[in-house]
A and B are shown apart, each in its own frame.
Chain A
Amino acid sequence: MSATAGQQQHPIKLYLLIWGLLFVLSTMSYLVDYFQFHGLLRWGLIILFMLLKAGLIVAVFMHMAWERLALIYAILLPPGALMVLVGLMASEAGHTYLARLLYFH
């Protein structure tokens, strides 16, 4: 069945595979904490597993991989603005932190 008809039917095998992968990825991100990794390694692994899981859910479970580009861009591009916000607030938070260290500590 084509995606343009608005129907999304895919082999059940694919869903089971993604389900399994999500289990594995969740276990791995839990193990990051269990084995007490620290520093850049911890951050890198946490973000990597998070993005992989999010990508699998959006692409397969939410069928974004088979939708039309018009919808994909309308939904997936705007959250980029959140990345700008994160960048702004991170630098702001760093500034606040330094000010607090200087004047209130």
Chain B
Amino acid sequence: MSQPSTTTAAAPGLRALVKDWGSDRQTFHVPWGKAMMWIFLLSDTFIFGSFLTGYMTVRMSTTVPWPNPSEVFSLHIGNVSVPLLLIAIMTFILISSSGTMAMAVNCAYGGDKRNAARLMFVTAAFGASFVGMQAFEWSKLILDEGVRPWGNPMGAAQFGSTFFMITGFHGLHVSAGVIYLSIVATRLLRGRYDGGHGHGPNYQIVEIAGLYWHFVDLVWVFIFALFYLW
């Protein structure tokens, strides 16, 4: 895609901002796919932001004690109870997947589509294992601890509803990301983005898919801090 930004590129900082927003045809001088992904992620930010705000509201306003996440989500190794162990592992897995995703973007822009696809599959595998661990966590909570969306034996009833809604929605995003990355990586290997008809190869799609994946990791940062550590 050719960029009509030879004049706008020259102006730095705030002057460029005013010029971009005052321009005739196009405000965002980035590929349209990237601008659209960012706008989608902004709307997703509002969804998760509203979920977390709702969670804050019910947690602050309940007079019944909130179940202690540090104990609820602990794992027993031998006779020792390690707080939040599974959640910590899940956190590290998601961060690792963000790392491999960043590497994939780097490879793609370097023109190395084979390694870019390989790293995207690694990222998707990390994501799939994250979802697997979440399934384990959910079943432990539902079957062993008796947590339900309408109540639980440990305290405030809202614990279950907010937990299942927020982590469920996030898990859905991770699952969608695994599928999305797998599709893009497969297409990348099959040469769909290699160009033709006078165009050279364009691997921008890897960065755009990466934006989505990093966002999923970003949301987990907030869930980890506000739900599990509060």
Contacts and interface: CB of A to CB of B under 8 A. Distances in A.
Interface string A15-43: 11011001100100110111010000010
Contacts of A49: 225
A23 B95 contact: yes
Tell me what chain A mostly uses at the interface: helix, strand, loop, or mixed.
helix
B56 A15 contact: no
Nearest to B19: A70
Interface in B44-81: 45-46, 49-50, 53-54, 56-63, 70
A50 B219 CA distance: 10
A57 B98 contact: yes
A104 B45 CA distance: 36
Contact of B215 (A15, A62, A79): A62
B103 to A, nearest CB: 6
A3 B165 CA distance: 38
Most buried by B among A34, A63, A68: A68
B35 to A, nearest CB: 7
Contacts of A47: 225
A97 B60 contact: yes
Nearest to B102: A15
A71 B29 CA distance: 8
Q: Interface residue tally of chain B, by bracket?
A: 35 or more
Contacts of B34: 6
B56 A86 contact: yes
A94 B230 CA distance: 17
A23 B38 CA distance: 25
Contacts of A50: 221-222, 224-226
Interface string A48-62: 011001100110111
Interface stretch (B9-17, B135-143, B170-178, B191-199): B9-17
Given A79-B42, A93-B57, A100-B61, A68 B102 contact: no
Interface of B: 1, 3, 5, 8-9, 13-14, 16-17, 20-21, 27-31, 34-35, 38-39, 41-42, 45-46, 49-50, 53-54, 56-63, 70, 83-84, 88, 91-92, 95-96, 98-99, 101-103, 105-106, 109-110, 204, 207, 210-211, 214-215, 217-218, 221-222, 224-226, 228-230
